């Protein structure tokens, strides 16, 4: 099993310590090959808002040579881990900058069957909000299930207590089992709604052959109710939402 870690910190202290505990717990459950990418080593320029990725394809991004190799690693991995310290109540700037470069993935979800884990550490606050923000981005990228480990350190340096270790191990092992079993979960109403909105929006792009239309068409998602098969009640709900948004768009 190959897991890609996108590390948003600048040092090997608290966030790294939690990451190591996660890695150890997962290794105990199954053999895992971890690859860590330290985003601050990428020296990625800021997104320049050229909109090329949205309208002309991600290969037209002026920073494609830096972003694409990491994106390919993400595609090829079995699961993703995003880890960041909290800075000013949010994720680190290097991680945010990387996410900004992948904003188009919200339009063209790339990870529909992937599981992901988010690690955040903070001195006092912001760890839960930051973890939830990253969880929502991963879901918008299509990830099927996202686990979170938000940790308040309440000191300069984290000492992992027995209780915290137990919690980290429990979540890490559930994450690991989920990847091995490859079970696909039913979407929440929120993400079923997002799928239906994107399906209605992208269905409008046929005439102009937009990048989003081509992507959704190639995957046959314009004819589906969700990325993977879902129950009849959810199918009915998804189809009703899609019809409603289609009606609004045609008005």
Ligand X SMILES: Cc1cc2nc3c(=O)[nH]c(=O)nc-3n(C[C@H](O)[C@H](O)[C@H](O)COP(=O)(O)O)c2cc1C
Residues that bind ligand X (CB under 6 A): 9, 11, 13-16, 85-89, 121-126, 153
Nearer to ligand X, 8 or 142 (CB): 8
Least CB distance to ligand X at residue 88 (A): 5
Nearer to ligand X, 154 or 232 (CB): 154
CA distance 37 to 82: 10
Least CB distance to ligand X at residue 158 (A): 7
Of the candidates 76, 32, 33, the residue with the CA atom closest to the CA atom of residue 173 = 32
Contact 69/37 with Cβ under 8 angstroms? no
Least CB distance to ligand X at residue 244 (A): 40
What does DSSP say about strands 145-152 and 79-85: parallel, antiparallel, or unpaired? unpaired
CA distance 58 to 18: 33
Contact 112/142 with Cβ under 8 angstroms? yes
Least CB distance to ligand X at residue 40 (A): 11
Cβ-Cβ contacts under 8 Å for 12 (sequence gap 6 or more) = none
Nearer to ligand X, 10 or 193 (CB): 10
Nearer to ligand X, 95 or 105 (CB): 95
């Amino acid at each position: 099993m190959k897991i890609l870690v996108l590390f948003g910190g600048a040092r090997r202290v608290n966030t790294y310590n939690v990451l190591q505990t996660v890695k150890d717990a997962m290794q105990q459950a199954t053999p895992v090959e971890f690859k860590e990418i330290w985003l601050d080593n990428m020296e990625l320029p800021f997104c320049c808002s050229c909109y090329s990725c949205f309208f002309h394809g991600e290969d037209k991004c002026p920073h494609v040579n830096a972003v694409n190799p990491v994106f390919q690693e993400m595609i090829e991995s079995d699961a993703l881990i995003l880890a960041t310290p909290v800075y000013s109540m949010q994720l680190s700037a290097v991680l945010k900058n990387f996410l900004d470069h992948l904003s188009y993935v919200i339009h063209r979800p790339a990870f529909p069957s992937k599981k992901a884990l988010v690690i955040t550490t903070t001195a006092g606050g912001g760890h839960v909000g930051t973890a939830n923000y990253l969880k929502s981005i991963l879901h918008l990228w299509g990830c099927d299930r996202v686990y979170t480990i938000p940790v308040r350190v309440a000191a300069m340096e984290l000492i992992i207590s027995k209780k915290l270790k137990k919690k980290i191990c429990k979540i890490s092992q559930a994450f690991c089992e989920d990847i091995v079993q490859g079970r696909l979960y039913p979407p929440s109403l929120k993400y079923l709604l997002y799928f239906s909105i994107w399906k209605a929006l992208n269905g409008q792009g046929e005439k102009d052959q937009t990048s989003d239309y081509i992507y959704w068409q190639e995957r046959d998602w314009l004819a589906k109710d969700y990325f993977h098969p879902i129950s009849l009640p959810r199918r009915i709900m998804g189809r009703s939402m899609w019809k409603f948004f289609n009606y609004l768009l045609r008005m």
